[in-house]
Chain A
């Protein structure tokens, strides 16, 4: 198991997927952040789901996003709720809002910043957490 402070230890990372979500993880493995957009009504939806919540159509196009977002909320994990987390703490978990996606949000770790100075509204930029089977998006403060 690989443990990097501020990130979920690699043994806990999972890429279990279904038909609706698999393209997302295939893209992240190539360090591309893509958000599905309904080809019928243009509504983005996240996490990926099999139906559009506005028009109930199924077809999507996967739109690449540069990952420049803002921190919508966050928590700083100080306590290891399961064995194996202790060496990774503290972890800053953010809810990242992505502009131009009708409000889609990602839940992702925020790295490269002292937990004490993290604040809501902070601009963040995309980074990647690579594990053996793929890559998970994470974020850093953006100048």
Chain B
């Protein structure tokens, strides 16, 4: 029997994206239009065509209808179509799912894609209850579980993650200066990139003058609400070397989380030992075990940054510093590009480049390992990509060149 691992049994061979837009500005394109443009760009990047595609590995619904996209594109035969449950926490893990498909022979060329258009919905209020008479149309239906949060007015992801970071500050002395370091260092990476929606430098004064949204998070602790699509093409290690660009190999991956992490931010009942975490500890360990490396081997980290403070908690859960030590770790300049020991979100992240629910992080990891990134980490050989913090699943992906 073959060893049960995905290590080096799949490779990313193509990445592609649409332009990124502020919320609703991608109209009149549809979400499927955006997805297809990204898929075609990623196939072109790989030197492949639609006739090569036979699989889809998605997450969070990915907002595409595979049946319609395959029909519009004229995919010869779909042999694999699956998605991770949950939401944005599956971004990195969707590549693990693609790797599982090609490693087991279920498909050869697998598309992962995330397309997003926030014209008729807003992630910023994604758990908002509808008022009587239908006000608050952005939200999901109220459920017997969700009212235990929404009746207190807890209805926005930023408010929910603020709870975790607030307690982290209380337990470990983490400060708003530490959050500012994440926001400012990420912005510094965005300003050099044509693709970024936020190209102006962010000063410490601007950060502390900004309005509070949900304490301790101010405006600049939040990612943006965006439109756009990013696609990634995964294939077998046998096929990968003959394609247009250097392959980037899947080294390790994991997704999921402790059962009692559960819905996490919408129930707040997580055990005390990991309440102030990103939920990533169990899957991070499985990912490292599969890869046979540890945090000291990671050259660049693309950490899902919907909120500045959750970058801190991931730095701890992925072992780059001790639990509770992420504040001083970033204060020492460790996450800055190019001089830091662990450059983080060299593409400007969800916070400052664009929020395409984590898929820009996969694209950046591939570009870093090809050596073609705008903000290139010299000699980068191993890249970490994460999806979430979120309810189950969260996910991680280690790639190497």
A→B interface (CB under 8 Å): 1, 7-9, 11-18, 20-21, 46-47, 53, 72-79, 81-85, 88, 91, 93-95, 103-109, 115, 119-121, 136, 138
Contacts and interface: CB of A to CB of B under 8 A. Distances in A.
Contacts of B215: 75-76, 78, 115
B212 A76 contact: yes
Interface in B207-262: 211-217, 259-260
Given A103-B272, A107-B154, A107-B268, A84 B144 contact: no
Interface in B143-167: 143-145, 147-156, 159, 162-164, 166-167
Given A88-B153, A93-B159, A107-B267, 18 more contacts: A8-B153, A12-B129, A12-B153, A14-B147, A72-B275, A73-B275, A75-B159, A75-B162, A76-B214, A77-B159, A78-B214, A79-B214, A81-B124, A95-B268, A104-B269, A106-B148, A107-B152, A138-B152
B125 interface: yes
B4 interface: no
A136 B166 contact: no
A120 to B, nearest CB: 4
Contacts of B136: 12, 82-84
B143 to A, nearest CB: 7
B151 A82 contact: no
Contacts of B163: 73-75, 93, 95
B144 A20 contact: yes
B142 interface: yes
B164 A12 contact: no
B124 A93 contact: no
B128 A82 contact: yes
Contacts of A75: 159, 162-163, 166, 214-217
A14 B155 contact: no
A6 to B, nearest CB: 9
Nearest to B153: A8
Contacts of A15: 147
A27 B47 CA distance: 64
A20 B145 CA distance: 10
B139 interface: yes
A18 B265 CA distance: 21
Contacts of B213: 78-79
B153 A21 contact: no
B131 A1 contact: yes
A8 B151 contact: yes
B211 A78 contact: yes
B321 to A, nearest CB: 22
B135 interface: yes
8 contacts: A12-B131, A78-B215, A79-B213, A93-B153, A103-B272, A104-B269, A106-B148, A120-B167
A8 B136 CA distance: 13
Nearest to B169: A120
Contacts of B129: 12-14
A84 B135 contact: yes
B133 interface: yes
A107 B138 contact: no
A72 B167 contact: yes
B151 A85 contact: no
B159 A21 contact: no
B264 to A, nearest CB: 12
A72 B272 CA distance: 10
B151 A11 contact: no
